[in-house]
Structure 1
């Protein structure tokens, strides 16, 4: 739906579960820049790409050497590449169109999150956040790695080397560090376990600013809005904070250098904090003051007007939606299972969530019909009213008011070639080589079964598969009924109707006296089975081998030798 025609009084945020996607056990999701494709990482090591318009699978990227669960997926700027990280410490770059593996490297630790450089359509650099160490810049061409600093020494004269990022006993910290690129990728923002945000130039590995967070709690998530104007952090003190970025989205490093040169008095770590406080200013805090729950997978909406966060409890599938002013506007409640990942559609008011069971739920708006939008003279009634006709309503020439003449000049030429720029996307999101859709591969239809008894055979196979007890006659003869055998084909149409799955309940059997009465009425002769002592009706139209016969007893089909 186009953004200009959304009713502003209803609010452009999702309300109900529209449908769900199912393919294996999915763990993480990510939209491309246009929101036309949705990538999902699965527990078997594969990456499934859904066409979000048709809700069908467009591609499946699978590496036979990788069978470990996927931890994160990230699209390139042009949408032609996907970076996948898994629990086997591997980073894999895929060509989406050709379904080819371009690069694969193995790091020393498991990667929780990895993202490509947002400023280049050709992926060459990525930022990886390992489980037990500092963030790493990975060069995808040379496969070289550079560890980013996560803290500054007290004197402020230098950075703590990566080897000092340990506890006093020499063991590595057990708390992962969050990091993200800014809009154009010239700066990296790192949130550490001390409750600080470090602004780092990833090329020179230099810290330009430090932003302390109130409470000094561990930062679990950090990310920018689509426009780059706001920065969101999720801390261990159960609070989501939004900061306003005062650096320009483009050439942020140059502006940061100029800002740092203007501050001369404080030196060392105090100067870094002074620079950081001018770069990021606290805008709003979001929390549940009653239940004090922890948050998981927070993010912005596509336009940055809404902030969402998921409840971190394992037995609840709740999504909280706030506006930028800090008001809680909606709580979405899903199935009674935990939530793993969350993503907001870049354009539409749609939220996609991943549950613990591996299903992907699509939350959308519950639109109300407004017929007056299509016919201005249409009037909606709250209740039934008696219609009073006009005096001239059924006249041949009614005396109606003249239609007001339109002010639009019909002789003017209409421009149908110029494409208006979508306000949702900025200049950095536009690319001539951007991949928006993938060609769908049609699945072949199952050939129709022209045999009249194919349906009966499938139903009997299903009944046998579900564990239903075999017929009494087959059990007494010492043989189990084989519904899938070719002998089913000899049953005629009338018997096939009687042996339908809905009519296969055990019925009361008649006595031998009843069979004698039936014979006196002129019915078909009956034959007695010598092995079981039961009377059976022989089907004389059998086309099977000589050693096999098909018999019908009441509503059951029995095969015996």
Structure 2
């Protein structure tokens, strides 16, 4: 249900509060909204991808690949919503055309992709950023299948062709830590958070690290994501702290701004130069943590307008969602049903959060609205108790004196533009609105042929029984239509504009009428002709009286 924003109390806070509904189909593991929030894609445990129409909460499309039966690890929409990139546990990347439901391409990597993101600057992207399980992030060309590994450290020993991040375990063995990475708003740069607690700013076209921002504490970065407007960057580290950084680079000319920063730092080289440039790229804005329980965070993200930060508890068996405002205050803790939380997504334009549970159910959290009825008009006033009201002298006049003195400066000859569509400020950066896919057409499922045959057979039997089971008298009405008085006793007036429905007489009435019109010559006749004569009398009456109003005359 959509509410009028003008009657909502502004002091309530624009964040979700209760579970409004839940979606259940198979076992869903990861979720993602399209850019407008009209469609919700969910990756299932059996390798299929379900697309929900978020307005009707019905299934709009199912993308199923016969070659893939492994769990889906991530889903990403293209900017225009025409394509979906799906990564699976069988090391595959699949690109789908949403409208036709056909697979465009499928690539099998050497490592399992934990996350895959399409390039955000193209309507039909063929470049994606992939974060595998046990090697560094890579740029994948979906047209050719070529892969390019990105650097995840500025140290010399990790600048090889496959710069994986290795951590020493307590037993002396070497483990691999996945590296989180994401595109900037327009896809000019890649921001990667490594296991050393560093944010690297990488020009993905040449693979060079252009800046580095060290994170206090030096913990492993598990998640890194930009806000929708590109002004803030969120990181989730292993020290159980979510950090928000403000982006200081211009959104559309980031590479040029980095070149200028490098020219201004010619007096230093190496890592110190990258740190100096990094301090001009990102600055720490806020930190979020639960200082009491010290929980780890899962799938943190921004709200659509960037005013709220949300994170799910990674504690085993808990389905808790924490919501902070951008100032750092914890404003709400949402506690869901049993089952651990595994993925989160905030609606792009509405205060709605969608969470995926370990049991495969998707929960929709929405705001519990309370209407402010005093906001219907600016002169409305809410009263604590009844007050005596004294009306004005002309308040109930047809034309009050106060209205007579008003002068409206309206140019009645001015042409009104009803063609131009005003740009939505939420999507003001969209230059591809005409290509954007917002809804999927509903396709009705055809009936099974066996069910159609049974339906036609039952219909024909019903028609035959109506035609042969009882005497039917048909008469052409004033409008030229044939009327069946036995199945639908309806009579038209002479003008054909009004219809009177005849009541079917009861058995008691029939017996009384039979006694009144009974004659010795007709006493031995059967009931069938008698009912026929009554029908004839009913059909022959020209004054439109009901059949149970026949008189002795």
Q: Normalising by the residue count of structure 2, what TM-score does the alignment of the two structures yield? A: 0.75
Task: Name which of 309, 314, 325 aligns with 2:316.
Answer: 314
Q: How has the CA–CA distance of structure 1 residues 163 and 284 changed in structure 2, closer, same or farther, with 3 Å as cutoff?
A: closer
Deviations 1:250-305 (A, max 9, x none): 12111111111110122111111111111110010011111111111000111111
Shift, 1:389, TM fit? 8.7
Map of 1:472-483 to 2, 5 A cutoff? none
| Greater gyration radius | 2
Matched with 1:461 is none
SS at match of 1:217: coil
- Alpha-carbon distance in 2 for matches of 1:305, 1:408: 40
Shift, 1:432, TM fit? 2.1
Matched with 2:241 is 239
Deviations 1:457-486 (A, max 9, x none): xxxxxxxxxxxxxxxxxxxxxxxxxxxxxx
Matched with 1:302 is 304
User: Is the Cα contact below 8 Å between 1:189 and 1:198 reproduced in 2?
Assistant: yes
Matched, 1:409 2:419: no
Shift, 1:336, TM fit? 2.3
Long gaps (5+) in structure 2: 456-553
Matched, 1:92 2:94: yes
User: Is the Cα contact below 8 Å between 1:33 and 1:429 reproduced in 2?
Assistant: no
Matched, 1:254 2:289: no
Q: How has the CA–CA distance of structure 1 residues 78 and 406 changed in structure 2, closer, same or farther, with 3 Å as cutoff?
A: farther
Q: Root-mean-square deviation (CA), in Å? A: 2.9
SS at match of 2:286: strand
- Alpha-carbon distance in 2 for matches of 1:163, 1:192: 11
Matched with 1:78 is 80
Shift, 1:59, TM fit? 0.5
Matched with 2:270 is 268
- Alpha-carbon distance in 2 for matches of 1:116, 1:77: 9
Matched, 1:323 2:310: no
- Alpha-carbon distance in 2 for matches of 1:270, 1:83: 38
Matched with 2:360 is 358
Matched with 1:434 is 436
Shift, 1:391, TM fit? 11
- Alpha-carbon distance in 1 for matches of 2:28, 2:185: 28
Q: How has the CA–CA distance of structure 1 residues 286 and 394 changed in structure 2, closer, same or farther, with 3 Å as cutoff?
A: closer
Matched with 1:53 is 55
Shift, 1:377, TM fit? 5.7
Long gaps (5+) in structure 1: 451-561
- Alpha-carbon distance in 2 for matches of 1:415, 1:50: 36
SS at match of 1:59: strand
Task: Name which of 280, 283, 307 aligns with 2:282.
Answer: 280
Shift, 1:60, TM fit? 0.4
SS at match of 1:273: helix
- Alpha-carbon distance in 2 for matches of 1:161, 1:387: 84
- Alpha-carbon distance in 1 for matches of 2:188, 2:141: 15
Matched with 1:34 is 36
User: Is the Cα contact below 8 Å between 1:299 and 1:308 reproduced in 2?
Assistant: yes
SS at match of 1:247: coil
Deviations 1:164-193 (A, max 9, x none): 644579976332110000011111111000
Matched with 1:526 is none
- Alpha-carbon distance in 2 for matches of 1:391, 1:324: 49
Matched, 1:159 2:159: yes
User: Is the Cα contact below 8 Å between 1:165 and 1:172 reproduced in 2?
Assistant: no
Kindly tell me the number of residue pairs found equivalent between the two proteins.
446
User: Is the Cα contact below 8 Å between 2:149 and 2:163 reproduced in 1?
Assistant: no
- Alpha-carbon distance in 1 for matches of 2:177, 2:351: 34
- Alpha-carbon distance in 2 for matches of 1:176, 1:200: 17
